[in-house]
Amino acid sequence: MRPFDINQAKVAVLMGGMSAEREISLLSGNGVLQALQSKGVNAHTFDPANQPLQNLKTQQYTHVFIALHGRHGEDGTVQGALELLGIPYTGSGVMASAIAMDKTMTKRIWNAQGLQSPAFVHLTPEEQTPHSIQRIPEQLQLPLIVKPPREGSSIGVTKVMTADQMQAAVALATQFDPDLLCEAFIDGDEVTCPVIGEGYLAKALPVVRIAAPQGAYDYQNKYFTDVVKYHCPSGLPPEEEKKIQQITFDAYRALGCRGWGRADLMIRKSDRQAFLLEMNTSPGMTSHSLVPMSAKASGISYEDLCLQLLMSAQLDQHKGGRVS
């Protein structure tokens, strides 16, 4: 596999794409592009919605920084295409990307590994009968969360307070995914923790504690307002912070992630038990994003973070062929 040489590399920053998170991806990608260019990297914009990925080969790109979010960018599909093209890319490989994009599959793996996530009900389209939907508040108790299992950025998510809100919540979620994921609501502190690296050499960065008005950490508040407060240092007791970092590291390893990622968790108010919500394998890199905030708290600038991630770009190692 070709090593990263800043003087020889030609880097495509994949941004935009076709997912519901296109707008955020463009913000992330342009931030990354400027950061890499400031470090002397020959980096260029590449939007898969506007040109075929095959052009990466014909235009002689040597490396790819994936700043795509959501489907066709974070779900293993682009990663698989880059494997076939033989172009090293940032972030997790095909399998880990595909699993992490599916919150239900992620939860099943974490639960099998003894890592705690909220109780859940998953319904395929055939299972979404009125009776099944009516039973969910009894199974999980109210309030509960209804979400599409394969979307990000809180798109299609509803906090259901009363049983008569279920049908509208299901209708919203299934606009974005035919399957349905319902989770028990965890009342407490919302936190997120990034990881950088691979295998046992991976390192969890400082925890970020999120304080949203009335707990409304939704798409609009995540990216387009300043009403959400982010605390890094988190203000958590040191032992609790270490526990969150260890859980995040274990969750990252359980999914086979590499390069970088960010776990979202809830800490239950009643007993300070931590519950894993999801793993983001291509986290946001906007001005509001949390990985750059956490990295800064550990002494890594935004520009250095982008360069470090780029230098970790690789292809899956388990295949029999050799990339020259």
Residues annotated as part of the active site: 21, 153, 223, 262, 264, 278, 280, 284
**C-alpha span between 189 and 193 (Å, rounded):** 13
Which candidate, 126, 77, 81, places its Cα nearest to that of 98? Answer: 77
Cβ(156)–Cβ(172) below 8 Å: yes
Cis peptide, bond prior to residue 292, ω within 30 of zero: no
**C-alpha span between 142 and 36 (Å, rounded):** 46
**C-alpha span between 186 and 281 (Å, rounded):** 23
The pairing of beta strand 63-66 with beta strand 11-14:
parallel
The separation between the first and the last C-alpha atoms of the chain, rounded to the nearest angstrom, is 5
**C-alpha span between 263 and 286 (Å, rounded):** 17
Q: What is the DSSP string of 213-266?
A: GGG---HHHHHS-S-SEEESS--S-HHHHHHHHHHHHHHHHHTT--SEEEEEEE
**C-alpha span between 22 and 50 (Å, rounded):** 12
Kindly report the number of other CB atoms within 10 A of residue 227's CB atom. 10
